[in-house]
């Protein structure tokens, strides 16, 4: 968790999307998922060497071997999209517009469902909470654990601190074939049609 937060702050410009750490007898293998690997690697590998030395000193990792992988579809990675919302809000875009733009981008990329929660001092001195969603995002059960990915970030604005949570339900063939998800989709459609009437 601490390593993830450190990498998130260090590799913000490179579009940090997550880390995978494996302890091996030789050392620690760290796989970074970023949208722009060139920024992490640096000229002639200087960025990787810097990062390796920082990780050795700060987290006392034995012989860290860092590999950098590019995220092929950044729109389906909740951490990357959460950071994009944060950047938009920092630049002065309205939080609601940023949230709805993100929802449209993610659904167009092929997600099953999206849910953006924004909390904090949004419009006034009083803290508020807003939730925007599209599609289907399973909340509980085994399917939610397998399909839903979560990203959380914080933004310091003029009004105060704002928290952003993004949930993306990914389409997976094995999950789409399951009868429980199909039944849930049908029930939600029935409820929506009943509410419309």
Residue matched to tokens 């060497």:
49
Q: Is the pLDDT of residue 164 over 60?
A: yes
Q: pLDDT by residue (tens digit) across 41-78?
A: 888 888 888 888 888 788 777 788 888 888 888 888 88
In 25-69, where does DSSP find H-type helix? 37-41, 46-59
- CATH code of 2-70, in short, is 3.30.300.20
Domain ranges of the chain: 2-70, 74-175
Q: Name the residue among 114, 133, 107 with its Cα closest to residue 192.
A: 133
148 half-sphere exposure, CB direction, 13 A CA radius: 20
- What's the pLDDT at 168? 92
Banded pLDDT at 177 (limits 50, 70, 90): very low
Q: What is the mean pLDDT of the chain?
A: 82
Place of tokens 């993610």: 106
Rounded to an integer, what distance in angstroms lies between the CA atom of residue 171 and that of residue 82? 19
Between the alpha carbon of residue 33 and those of residues 4, 13, 110, 130, 196, the distances in Å are: 11, 13, 20, 29, 42
Quote the distance between the C-alpha of residue 45 and its chain's center: 27
The pTM of the full predicted model, rounded to 2 decimals, is 0.76
The hierarchical CATH code for the domain 74-175 is 3.30.1140.32
| 2-70 and 74-175 have identical folds | no
* 8 A C-beta contact, residue 163 and residue 123: no
pLDDT tens for residues 150-161? 988 888 888 888
């Amino acid at each position: 968790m601490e390593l993830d937060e450190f990498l998130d702050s260090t590799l913000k410009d490179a579009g940090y999307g997550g880390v995978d750490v494996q302890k091996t007898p030789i050392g620690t293998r760290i796989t970074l998922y970023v949208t722009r690997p060139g920024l992490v690697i640096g000229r002639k590998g200087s960025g990787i060497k810097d990062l390796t030395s920082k990780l050795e000193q700060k987290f006392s990792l034995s012989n860290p071997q860092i590999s950098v992988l590019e995220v092929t579809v950044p729109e389906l990675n909740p951490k990357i999209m959460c950071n994009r919302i944060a950047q938009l809000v920092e630049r002065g875009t309205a939080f609601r517009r940023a949230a709805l733009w993100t929802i449209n981008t993610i659904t167009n990329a092929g997600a099953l469902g999206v849910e953006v929660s924004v909390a904090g001092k949004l419009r006034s001195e009083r803290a508020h909470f807003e939730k925007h969603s599209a599609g289907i995002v399973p909340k509980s059960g085994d399917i939610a654990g397998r399909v839903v990915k979560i990203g959380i970030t914080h933004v310091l604005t003029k009004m105060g601190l704002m928290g952003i949570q993004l949930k993306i339900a990914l389409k997976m063939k094995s999950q789409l074939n399951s009868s429980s998800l199909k039944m849930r989709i049908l029930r939600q459609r029935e409820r929506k049609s009943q509410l419309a009437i």
